[in-house]
Structure 1
Amino acid sequence: MDKYEVYPIGIVKSPYKNPGDAPRQGALKPDEEMEIEIYEKFREGLGTFEGTTHLIVLLWFDKADREIMSGTPPGAKKSKPVFTIRSPHRPNPVGFDIARIISVKDGIIKVSGLDALNNTPVIDIKPYVPSIDCIREAKGLNIK
């Protein structure tokens, strides 16, 4: 099996310390602020995000169990295969969040909308582009 290296570009500073502390994505508090601290080595790639209100944040859920192949989502009565649910426990625990940008200064992006634990590694950030990232006719899980 091939292996690939992923380098964290930063780290999340969050009030959530333990796995049960963070709300599910559907229950996020829109005014809860966190920081994404970009490592010095990568700050040249940061910019100001002028005109951009939201970011796609890819996280490495380092506390996740990589051996779990199924889980029971909140509200479900039975277990489902891991690739059909949004559990952090998966073979490659990559997290995907969309965060609202509050400010960008000195390598720190202040955001709201993350469900990450404190010190979660950030593996990438990308600007959210509504014209290509929002698929209006898409159907999927009904998460509340």
Structure 2
Amino acid sequence: MSALPASAARTARAYPLPARPAAAPAPRLRVVRAPEQARSRVPFVIACMAVLAGALLTALLLNTQMASLAFERYELSNELGRLDQDRKDLVAALDSRSSPARLAEAATALGMVEANGTGWLRLADGSVQGAPAPAGG
């Protein structure tokens, strides 16, 4: 059979045994700190909600103020139209009262008479110019 003795045949293998790893050194123990607590997100969420609430409140106040000013503008526009119409009415009344016929009627009602002639007084030398005549009445 083989030239190897029987005891050697038992120990001989067809493939080599893997090398045994060297003995691992004993693990070194060390003290570690406790893990830090994760930061809470509550303050960030509250800050975001506060910014959102502030923006919504600001928008509401601006909208309310704009509506109030629009109403006030509408009221002032109506008052301006009413005052303009009153002015036009007063100008028309003044024009009708200042017509020559109405002025003659008002003067007659006050007891005034029509002048027969007109004259002018010159202040530089005190002379009278024109043909003044006494009013008949």
User: Same fold by TM (over 0.5)?
Assistant: no
Higher-RCO chain (CA-CA 8 Å, sequence separation at least 6):
1
Q: Say which structure is richer in helix.
A: 2
TM-score normalised by L of structure 1? 0.14
Q: Say which structure is richer in strand.
A: 1
TM-score normalised by L of structure 2? 0.14
Computing the radius of gyration over CA atoms, which structure comes out larger, 1 or 2? 2
